[in-house]
């Protein structure tokens, strides 16, 4: 589904963020990228949806080189969730989630209906939450809205960068469990960045362990990683 072949990224200032990275992600699996801060995890994620262009190598999505795709078209098929979910403060939650389908040209009513379904899906009762504003939500609830928004266009691929990082441990465990259930039910292919090895082995079908200098140290099942 996603294949990285000899991918490297050196930033304009000479910082080597990622080096000769090979990674294969099978359809409908969740792969966690784990490792210390600054080892190239976020950079790797952003190269998949072309927020950043690789310096070397290539990234193949569903058989096609991502550099051949129109970036806007490419991102329709890729949901993106980050730690500090940027919700529009002056729009209610349903409108926030409906933004993506609206941008894709969905008719207003259909986009709204979809938004309510998605809120339900991520465990936010639409009757309670649709009309609330972002500042009226807890951190965990805002992360759920971020996931709902990323799912809005029904992309086959999700990229998640520390999606549960900003919430307390109890809420975090709950969000992890719910997300795993959601991912299996919907059949999404997920690349998820975390600095927490416990989260990586809990959630990943496979775990990619990054080391300093943006090198892949290990890529294996959680059982093999724990046994190593
Ligand atoms: P991680 O997600 O593992 O914390 P990043 O991919 O964010 O790591 O960063 C990898 C390396 O690239 C770090 O040394 C970071 O400082 C550097 N880096 C990230 N973004 C830029 C940038 N825009 N310009 C220069 N260096 C950058
Ligand atoms: P958490 O511990 O998950 O961060 P909070 O303490 O932020 O939760 O919020 C607890 C509950 O109060 C949540 O259900 C949230 O929706 C609700 N809440 C928080 N702020 C407001 C507000 N300004 N108006 C209405 N409800 C709120």
DSSP per-residue letters across 137-165: S-HHHHHHHHHHHHHTT--SEEEEESTTT
Distance 31 CA to ligand 1 centre (A): 20
Q: What is the pLDDT of residue 167?
A: 81
Q: What is the pLDDT of residue 195?
A: 92
Contacts of 212 (CB under 8 A, 6+ apart): 36, 38, 39
Q: Is the pTM here over 0.80, yes or no?
A: yes
* ipTM of the complex in this document: 0.74
Ligand 2 atom closest to Cα of residue 135: 23
Q: What is the pLDDT of residue 140?
A: 87
Q: Are 226 and 201 in contact (CB under 8 A)?
A: yes
Q: With a cut of 70, which residues of the chain have pLDDT below it?
A: 228
Beta bridge pairs of residue 18: 9
Q: What is the pLDDT of residue 103?
A: 79
Q: For residue range 61-118, what is the model confidence (pLDDT) as tens digits?
A: 999 999 999 988 898 899 999 887 789 999 999 999 998 888 778 898 999 999 999 9
Q: Which residue has the tokens 């416990």?
A: 198
Question: How far is Cα 18 from Cα 211, in angstroms, rounded to an integer?
Answer: 10
Ligand 1 atom closest to Cα of residue 18: 10
Q: Which residue of 138, 172, 174, 178 sits with most ligand 2 atoms within 8 Å of its CB, as the best mutation to test the pocket?
A: 138
């Amino acid at each position: 589904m996603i294949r990285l072949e000899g991918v490297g990224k050196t930033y304009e200032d000479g910082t080597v963020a990622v080096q000769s990275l090979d990674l294969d992600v099978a359809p409908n699996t969740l792969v966690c990228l784990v490792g210390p801060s600054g080892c190239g995890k976020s950079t790797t994620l952003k190269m998949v949806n072309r927020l950043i262009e690789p310096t070397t190598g290539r990234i193949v999505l569903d058989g096609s080189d991502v550099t051949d795709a129109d970036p806007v078209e490419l991102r329709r098929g890729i949901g993106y969730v980050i730690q500090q979910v940027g919700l529009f403060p002056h729009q209610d939650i349903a409108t926030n989630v409906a933004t993506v389908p609206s941008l894709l040209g969905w008719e207003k009513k259909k986009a709204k209906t979809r938004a309510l379904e998605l809120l339900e899906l991520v465990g936010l009762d639409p009757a309670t939450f649709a009309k609330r504003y972002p500042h009226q939500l807890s951190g965990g609830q805002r992360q759920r809205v971020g996931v709902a928004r990323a799912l809005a266009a029904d992309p086959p691929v999700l990229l998640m960068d520390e999606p549960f990082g900003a919430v307390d441990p109890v809420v975090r465990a709950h969000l992890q469990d719910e997300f795993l259930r959601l991912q299996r039910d919907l059949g999404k292919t997920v690349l998820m960045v975390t600095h927490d090895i416990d989260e990586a082995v809990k959630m990943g079908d496979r775990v990619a362990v990054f080391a300093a200098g943006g090198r892949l140290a290990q890529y294996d099942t959680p059982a093999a990683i724990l046994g190593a």
